[in-house]
Amino acid sequence: MNYTFLDNAATTPMDKEVIEEINDKMINVFGNASSTNFYGRQAKGVLETSRHTIAQSIGAKDTEIVFTSGGTESDNTAIISTALSRSEQGKHIITTAVEHEAVMKSMAYLENLGFDVTYLKPNEEGSITSEQVQSSLTDETILVSVMYGNNETGAINPISEIGELLKDSQALFHVDAVQAYGNYDLDVNDLHVDFLSTSAHKINGPKFIGFLYIRDGIVIPSYLKGGDQETKRRAGTENVPAIAGFAKAVELISGVDKQKLQEKYFGYKKIIFDILRQNDIKFEVNGSTKIESLNQILNIYLPGIERGILLTRLDIDGYGISGGSACTAGSLEPSHVISAMFGEESPRLNESIRISFGKYNNEEEIKNFSEALVKIVKDLDNIN
């Protein structure tokens, strides 16, 4: 059976060129980048060349890129280290009710330490407004953390507007851009952000590597305690082969027209919509139907169709999708994102699925998936 992978928001398959780059560096550049001998200098050279490639991809300086183990560590570092180091200036933080668990659980941890967190409620398209941020700001606000695009619905937030709003505030601005990076052109200066989190495995790179952008002039303590790597901002020996693989993945996406990429994914959405409508399948989109979203992500509500059963049937038929965030979907717990958008009693919590596209998908796969989805939904409707 040919298996079609449509869970790219959870992870993406590594590009062959990335794998080759990692293998080469594992074999030929095995030194510790902190060592001063030949092998260490060789590793340091690869590390800094990779840092430069990645910095250029977001309009940053090389010195503003700190390598981490991925999006979770980047989010944790930006949020917790900032809060703990700036608590004398205030203990108020603003975020949204639809952030990734890496942000939500960081906020819960800080609340237990006495910080006050405001969770902005999204509209039914899953986004918030800059006006909501403005009305929630106080003299005690030290940090605002808002994701660029949602990992379950694809909803995009007005990051540049929020960044502009915060320029005259003491509050630092953190953006989780894990899903947006590589799918949209991002420039940290245009967005007016102080921190930006990414993860390589969302752009056909390796797992367990990412970076945190920290604007020059902002000093926060290393979240991990240990050596002085990453100019004392992230302790631990750098994973040079993975970082080189990350840089290769960035090189491969740098020449991609992001607008055309989003138009292609929007076209995939339309194929699914058209086939469902042609077959009289009732559905609604959880999120925006406009092109101004992360179009690689589609979250749809299928009334009366239990999510767990549908996911199993699709998996048996050779289609890999999910019920929401991969970090929570394994337990099939109701989505906090859908709950924030539609309420805790909404049937959407247990009758919605997430489909997410990637560079290796094509129109034929999307058509075949849509037809399989129609057949399964009709079968389940007949059983019900």
List, for residues 102-139, the tens digit of each pLDDT value: 999 999 999 999 999 999 999 999 999 999 999 999 99
Q: In 3D, which of 319, 373, 311, 377 has the Cα closest to residue 1?
A: 319
Confidence of residue 334 (pLDDT cuts 50, 70, 90): confident
C-alpha to C-alpha distance for 178 and 200, rounded to whole angstroms:
8
Rg of the chain in Å (alpha carbons): 21
Instruction: Give domain status of residue 48, yes or no.
Output: yes
Q: At residue 326, does pLDDT exceed 90?
A: no
Domains of the chain: total: 2
Mean pLDDT of 141-145: 98
Instruction: Give domain status of residue 83, yes or no.
Output: yes
pLDDT digits (tens, 9 = 90+) for 186-201: 999 999 999 999 999 9
Number of C-beta neighbours around residue 123 at 10 A: 12
Question: Which of 254, 283, 314 finishes a domain?
Answer: 254
Query: Is 338 considered catalytic here?
Result: no
Among residues 26, 327, 374, 380, which one is catalytic?
327
Mean pLDDT of 350-368: 98
pLDDT digits (tens, 9 = 90+) for 340-351: 999 999 999 999
Instruction: Give domain status of residue 11, yes or no.
Output: no
Mean pLDDT of 280-293: 95
The CATH number of the domain where 368 resides is what? 3.90.1150.10
Confidence of residue 1 (pLDDT cuts 50, 70, 90): confident
Instruction: Give domain status of residue 3, yes or no.
Output: no
Pair 279, 230 in one domain = no
Written as six digits, the tokens of 64 are 């503003």
pLDDT digits (tens, 9 = 90+) for 58-71: 999 999 999 999 99
Do 223 and 80 contact (CB within 8 A), yes or no? yes
pLDDT digits (tens, 9 = 90+) for 11-57: 999 999 999 999 999 999 999 999 999 999 999 999 999 999 999 99
Q: What is the pTM of this model?
A: 0.96
Instruction: Give domain status of residue 9, yes or no.
Output: no
State the alpha helices, DSSP H only, in the chain.
16-28, 38-56, 71-76, 82-85, 101-112, 130-136, 159-166, 188-191, 229-232, 240-254, 258-278, 307-316, 326-329, 336-342, 363-383
Q: At residue 383, does pLDDT exceed 90?
A: no
Pair 88, 233 in one domain = yes
Number of C-beta neighbours around residue 233 at 10 A: 22
Question: Which of 221, 254, 287 finishes a domain?
Answer: 254
C-alpha to C-alpha distance for 225 and 18, rounded to whole angstroms:
30
Instruction: Give domain status of residue 8, yes or no.
Output: no
Pair 299, 328 in one domain = yes
Instruction: Give domain status of residue 1, yes or no.
Output: no
Q: At residue 332, does pLDDT exceed 80?
A: no
* Domain extent for 127: 16-254
pLDDT digits (tens, 9 = 90+) for 211-264: 999 999 999 999 999 999 999 999 999 999 999 999 999 999 998 999 999 999
Pair 26, 151 in one domain = yes
**175 DSSP 8-state letter:** E
Pair 316, 241 in one domain = no
Question: Which of 254, 281, 316 finishes a domain?
Answer: 254
C-alpha to C-alpha distance for 210 and 249, rounded to whole angstroms:
12
Pair 39, 127 in one domain = yes
Pair 64, 114 in one domain = yes
Pair 263, 220 in one domain = no
Instruction: Give domain status of residue 269, yes or no.
Output: yes
Q: How far, CA to CA in Å, does 247 sit from each of 31, 35, 67?
A: 18, 22, 11
The CATH number of the domain where 103 resides is what? 3.40.640.10
Contacts of 277 (CB under 8 A, 6+ apart): none
Pair 127, 262 in one domain = no
Percent of the chain with pLDDT over 70: 98
pLDDT, residue 329, reads 46
- φ, ψ of residue 68 to 5 degrees: the values are -130, -175
C-alpha to C-alpha distance for 9 and 382, rounded to whole angstroms:
31
Pair 156, 266 in one domain = no
Confidence of residue 384 (pLDDT cuts 50, 70, 90): low
Pair 100, 121 in one domain = yes
Pair 372, 242 in one domain = no
Q: How far, CA to CA in Å, does 175 sit from each of 129, 191, 371?
A: 15, 10, 37
